[in-house]
Amino acid sequence: MHALVTRVTRIDDVTLRVAPPLHLLPTEPAPEKQLIVAVTFRTDVGRRWHAVGGGATIAAAIECARESCPDDAVWEAETWNDLYGD
């Protein structure tokens, strides 16, 4: 959401409302930084699982992806690639 700001100009006791230039000012904070990663997980017996996760940090994005792994094993992140974000 943005707020509209106008400029008021006074010329010889006549007030003119001039719309341009318009400035859009943010009225809500900027969204938190978001990273999206593709992660390959592996178990100690060699099973692999591929998942995508997101978060404010790489660690948070990997943990988000880990939530989709099956519950029957311990999954360790083997590799990951940035899909979106810095």
In the chain, how many domains are there?
1
Give yes or no for residue 42 having a pLDDT over 90.
Answer: yes
Establish if 7 belongs to a structural domain.
Answer: no
Percent of the chain with pLDDT over 90: 57
Establish if 43 belongs to a structural domain.
Answer: yes
Establish if 47 belongs to a structural domain.
Answer: yes
pLDDT (tens digit, 9 = 90+) per residue, 58-67?
A: 999 999 999 9
Q: How far is CA 79 from CA 6, 48, 51, 65, 68, in A?
A: 52, 11, 11, 12, 16
Establish if 64 belongs to a structural domain.
Answer: yes
Establish if 23 belongs to a structural domain.
Answer: no
Q: Give the chain's radius of gyration (CA, Å).
A: 25
Of 34, 36, 33, 32, the closest CA to residue 82 belongs to 36
Establish if 28 belongs to a structural domain.
Answer: no
Establish if 5 belongs to a structural domain.
Answer: no
Domain extent at residue 56? 35-84
Quote the pLDDT of residue 28: 78
Establish if 17 belongs to a structural domain.
Answer: no
Give yes or no for residue 57 having a pLDDT over 80.
Answer: yes
